Structure 1
């Protein structure tokens, strides 16, 4: 299942990139998502960086079938590899897995100038490798993933507003 989301910010791409790669923001993002535990890592790589976030989340609120399959908590492991700044923006590869479940989200994230601010675009494929039920799992997971992306963007916007 293809996921496409766009988020607009009042700040430019480099300011948004600085927030999205700030270790303090990453921890705050995990806590805001209700993480029971988390680990974060930002490793510079040339003019880009690799951001890794791993968090355990409660499964309450998920459809019953998903909660039964995952247990009381699920562990999301997310990696974004950001490239160098180019054309006023940045691009990165995105990979998210639910540990212990055959569900992945793989794609791209981009920050591009847009007027006085920027737009963040997520283009990714959500794949559930579950025989006969993969499509239903994808349909059940997609709203939670979209909500997570939008919640992260809202928190990033708040961080930007506090720091300007």
Structure 2
């Protein structure tokens, strides 16, 4: 069984600046410099103004929900790959995939970055599938919620990065 989801992340940053930050190695390196259990690989396979971000992280055990801990077959490892295309006519499209080790989870979807009167918005649309008998359906909303938390954390990181750049 899989679960579809859709949500938006609001930014106070203009779309051109946000796209530039999302496709800049320095912003991602800044975001991950304190993450002791994470790895980050950045490439630009489609040239300037685009990026592919591969991330892995081992979450601390105390941050893993009990229902997930009970379903784990081994240590939990989260993997996510994001891609961002060029900004064209004020809009950039991207995509993401995610999976986990220790519990069979797959996630995939799209991003659309566009301007708003207050700055920018990223619309996130996707699906998640947790292949665990009996409890997979109960875990899928937790995975969706985790993605929302991560993207909101990235929003705070990007906005802090901008503040530091303009200081």
TM-score class, shorter? 0.7 to 0.9
Decide which moves more: 3-12 or 88-97. 3-12
Give the superposition deviation at 1:35: 4.5
Give the superposition deviation at 1:95: 0.7
Contact 1:57 1:73 (8 Å CA) reproduced: no
Q: Report the CA distance shift for 1:4/1:155 in structure 2 as closer, same or farther (over 3 A).
A: same
Give yes or no for the alignment of 1:102 onto 2:104.
yes
Q: Which residue of 2 aligns with 1:8?
A: 10
Question: Tell me, what secondary structure is at the counterpart of 1:40?
Answer: strand
Q: Which residue of 2 aligns with 1:43?
A: 44
Q: Which residue of 2 aligns with 1:114?
A: 116
Decide which moves more: 88-97 or 6-15. 6-15
1:132 to 115, 121, 134: 134
- In 2, distance between residues paired with 1:59 and 1:43? 33
- In 1, distance between residues paired with 2:36 and 2:72? 15
Q: Report the CA distance shift for 1:73/1:60 in structure 2 as closer, same or farther (over 3 A).
A: farther
Structure 1: gaps spanning 5 or more residues: none
- In 1, distance between residues paired with 2:22 and 2:61? 25
The ranges of structure 1 where at least 4 consecutive aligned residues each deviate by more than 4 angstroms after the TM superposition are none
Q: Report the CA distance shift for 1:70/1:29 in structure 2 as closer, same or farther (over 3 A).
A: farther
Question: Tell me, what secondary structure is at the counterpart of 1:60?
Answer: helix
Q: Report the CA distance shift for 1:20/1:8 in structure 2 as closer, same or farther (over 3 A).
A: same
Q: Report the CA distance shift for 1:69/1:120 in structure 2 as closer, same or farther (over 3 A).
A: same
Contact 2:71 2:132 (8 Å CA) reproduced: no
TM-score w.r.t. the length of structure 1 is 0.83
Contact 1:41 1:52 (8 Å CA) reproduced: yes
The structure with more strand, counted as a fraction of residues: 1
TM-score w.r.t. the length of structure 2 is 0.82
Q: Which residue of 2 aligns with 1:162?
A: 164
Aligned length: 163
2:27 to 25, 28, 41: 25
- In 1, distance between residues paired with 2:4 and 2:137? 12
